[in-house]
Amino acid sequence: MSAIGRSEIAAGAAENGGAEAEGGQPRDRLSRWRLVLGGHDADGVTTEEGTAVVLSAEDARRDRALEELYDPAPRGPGGLGSSSPRVARWLGDIRGYFPSGVVQVMQADAMDRLGLRQMLLEPEMLRTVQPDIGLVSTLIGLGRVIPAHSREAARAVVRQVTRELEERLRARTVQAVTGALNRAARTRRPRHRDIDWNRTIAANLRHYQPEYRTVVPERLVGYARRTTEVQREIILCIDQSGSMAESVVYSSVFGAVLSSLRSVRTRLVVFDTEVVDLTEEMDDPVDVLFGVQLGGGTDINRALAYCQERITRPTETVMVLISDLYEGGIAEEMLRRAASIVGSGATLIALLALSDSGHPSYDADHAAALAGIGVPSFACTPDLFPELMAAAIERRDIGAWAASRGIATTHGEGGD
């Protein structure tokens, strides 16, 4: 059964765009047979000299993805909770290795072969699983192949996790953003009730009068009067390629929190080769997550163009591009677009990942090129994201902020 499934998938991949190896070169006949057969059946595929066929690095990754689904190694007993990060990574991998039609078939097969259907349909199975961000990443990765009668169970799991994340992150995000807005709105001619006495005293210590044991304030520091007007525009531009699933989850949660603040106007845009504006659904992370369609292609330039057209107050706009920067479009156009956004006065930051998963995989050349035109590029954990937004709102040096938090940033020519 597994051999038939694997051969059909591998053959289908070859017929639908998978017949080329790296660099667009035709894949040789033996390599294609090696992929079709897989496992022990592939041992008989040899060259004319009798040596084993060696797959390219990319084909070797395809082979492992096929093996994971159709020729899995025996596993011991255990719940699905611990395996969900592995499944999420696998779902991301296949979108980069196979055409979309083949990916849909593999996703459907995964529902049964990886135990996901059982997890979604049996309440007792759901009770044995610890819902976490890895499981949520798996569910949104499956997307529309989840059966209609299973979607409510999937949404319940996603809602539980996003609610817990929002409870954990909301207070510090609101405090950081509102505090930054207040500091950015300081005035040197405040009304008496708006004076920031601590900062006023600190700014006038040189005017201390010992005989009177007091400070004569030459300059007052305070806050501008509170206003209901929008003070900052925030754009979250999120790469929804398969490898970014965890970042998409966290971005949806932060989008919901930011959308609740009247002093900022937040836009949430997701993209692969298409661009989708999910701003209207942003107040509910579950709707956002089930509105994305994780894909394999990436057109960052197209997404930046869409967002740039919606920037009306550049100097008051913070745009966060969350992407691994593996551009599938024209890289030069992407860089020119990014330079144009920075040149307009907007703050543009490239987050290579918004996750707890450690060091991300990303295109180092593109990250360095962006850094060279003034776009800081680094990965950020969710716990530090509120601080990052505060620094950006106050127009502080983001590179210096990252360094102060021990975050390694990418440097380009002419960068810091």
Structural domain ending residue among the three candidates 223, 249, 274: 223
Reported confidence tier of residue 36, pLDDT bands at 50, 70, 90: low
Question: How confident is the model over 376-412, as pLDDT tens digits?
Answer: 999 999 999 999 999 999 999 999 999 999 998 887 6
Examine residue 112 and state whether it is found in any structural domain, yes or no.
yes
Examine residue 212 and state whether it is found in any structural domain, yes or no.
yes
Mark whether 244 and 352 lie in a shared domain. Answer: yes
Mark whether 10 and 128 lie in a shared domain. Answer: yes
Q: Which of 57-61, 77-81, 114-118 has the lowest mean pLDDT?
A: 77-81
237 bridge partner residues: 269, 321
Question: How confident is the model over 134-190, as pLDDT tens digits?
Answer: 778 878 877 667 777 777 888 888 999 999 999 999 999 999 999 898 777 655 556
pLDDT score recorded for residue 79:
40
Question: How confident is the model over 307-358, as pLDDT tens digits?
Answer: 999 999 999 999 999 999 998 878 999 999 999 999 999 999 999 999 987 6
Mark whether 211 and 304 lie in a shared domain. Answer: no
Name the maximum alpha-carbon separation found in the chain: 100
232 bridge partner residues: 264
Shortest CA distance to 96 belongs to which of 356, 350, 302, 273? 273
Which span out of 121-130, 155-164, 250-259 was modeled with the highest average pLDDT? 250-259
**Whole-prediction pTM:** 0.69
Examine residue 42 and state whether it is found in any structural domain, yes or no.
yes
Q: Which of 28-42, 232-246, 295-309 has the lowest mean pLDDT?
A: 28-42
pLDDT score recorded for residue 82:
44
Alpha carbons 264 and 30: distance in angstroms, whole number: 58
Question: Residue 93 corresponds to which amino acid?
Answer: D
Structural domain ending residue among the three candidates 223, 242, 272: 223
Examine residue 180 and state whether it is found in any structural domain, yes or no.
no
**Could you give the number of structural domains in the chain?**
3
Structural domain boundaries enclosing 343: 229-404
Structural domain ending residue among the three candidates 140, 156, 172: 156
One DSSP character per residue, 174-230 reads HHHHHHHHHHHTEESS--GGGB-HHHHHHHTGGGEETTTTEE--SS--EEPPP-SS-
- 123: its two tokens: 């309440």
Alpha carbons 93 and 274: distance in angstroms, whole number: 19
pLDDT score recorded for residue 359:
74
Examine residue 290 and state whether it is found in any structural domain, yes or no.
yes
Helix (H, G, I), strand (E, B) or coil at 164: helix
Contact call for residues 71 and 35 (beta carbons, < 8 A)? no
Question: How confident is the model over 260-314, as pLDDT tens digits?
Answer: 998 999 999 999 888 999 999 999 999 899 887 666 678 999 999 999 999 999 9
Helix (H, G, I), strand (E, B) or coil at 272: coil
Mark whether 374 and 324 lie in a shared domain. Answer: yes
Which uninterrupted H or E stretch holds 389? helix 385-393
Mark whether 306 and 204 lie in a shared domain. Answer: no
Mark whether 148 and 197 lie in a shared domain. Answer: no
> How confident is the model over 65-72, as a mean pLDDT?
76
pLDDT score recorded for residue 80:
41
Reported confidence tier of residue 63, pLDDT bands at 50, 70, 90: confident
Contact call for residues 317 and 347 (beta carbons, < 8 A)? yes
Mark whether 248 and 393 lie in a shared domain. Answer: yes
Which uninterrupted H or E stretch holds 285? helix 285-289
pLDDT score recorded for residue 117:
66
Alpha carbons 301 and 334: distance in angstroms, whole number: 4
Mark whether 147 and 217 lie in a shared domain. Answer: no
> How confident is the model over 56-66, as a mean pLDDT?
78
Question: How confident is the model over 179-238, as pLDDT tens digits?
Answer: 898 777 655 556 666 677 887 888 888 888 888 888 888 777 765 555 557 789 999 999
Mark whether 276 and 340 lie in a shared domain. Answer: yes
Strand order in the sheet with 232-239: 275-277, 264-271, 232-239, 317-322, 347-354, 377-380
Mark whether 382 and 237 lie in a shared domain. Answer: yes
Distant-in-sequence, close-in-space partners of 13: CB < 8 Å, separation ≥ 6 = 35, 62, 97, 98, 99, 102
Contact call for residues 325 and 300 (beta carbons, < 8 A)? yes
pLDDT score recorded for residue 25:
45
Query: Torsions phi, psi of 121, nearest 5?
Result: -95, -25
- Cα–Cα–Cα angle for 110, 111, 114, rounded to 5 degrees: 60
Mark whether 197 and 125 lie in a shared domain. Answer: no
Examine residue 264 and state whether it is found in any structural domain, yes or no.
yes
Query: Tell me, what CATH number does 320's domain have?
Result: 3.40.50.410
Q: Which of 87-91, 170-174, 369-373 has the lowest mean pLDDT?
A: 87-91
Which uninterrupted H or E stretch holds 335? helix 331-343
Examine residue 10 and state whether it is found in any structural domain, yes or no.
yes
Examine residue 176 and state whether it is found in any structural domain, yes or no.
no
Residue 19, pLDDT above cutoff 70: no
Which uninterrupted H or E stretch holds 237? strand 232-239
Mark whether 13 and 145 lie in a shared domain. Answer: yes
